[in-house]
Amino acid sequence: SPGKAMVCFGNMFVELPKAQTREMLRQDQDQLDEEINNLRKELRVKVNRLYEAQGKPELKGFNLNPMSAEEMKLINRILEG
């Protein structure tokens, strides 16, 4: 029906308003993004410890962060002239 969406919770489908469904999905995505970022930070520390324990030099460039969409737009604008 208009304004409704079917959502699967485990093995059960529930019909909810689209606005509520959209908000639930946005919150879930925000939480997943936060967890992914935390895991990436922890991974960097663990890899550095592993390399240190093996007596290898620290990885170069491993602590870099990706550019934001705004930063990429500025770079492209500079490159275009």
Q: In one letter, which amino acid is 32? A: L
> Comparing 45 with 81, which gets the higher pLDDT?
45
Domain segments of the chain: what residues?
4-80
Q: What percent of the chain stands above pLDDT 90?
A: 60
Asked if the model's pLDDT at residue 31 lies above 80, the reply is yes
SS3 labels along 27-79: HHHHHHHHHHHHHHHHHHHHHHHHHHHCCCCCCCCCCCCCCCHHHHHHHHHHH
Structure tokens at 35: 């967890």
Per-residue confidence (pLDDT) for residue 1, from 0 to 100: 61
- Can you give the pTM of this predicted structure? 0.61
pLDDT above 80 for 68: yes
CA distance 60 to 7: 45
- The mean pLDDT of 26-41, rounded to a whole number, is 93
Q: How many CB atoms lie within 10 A of CB 72?
A: 11
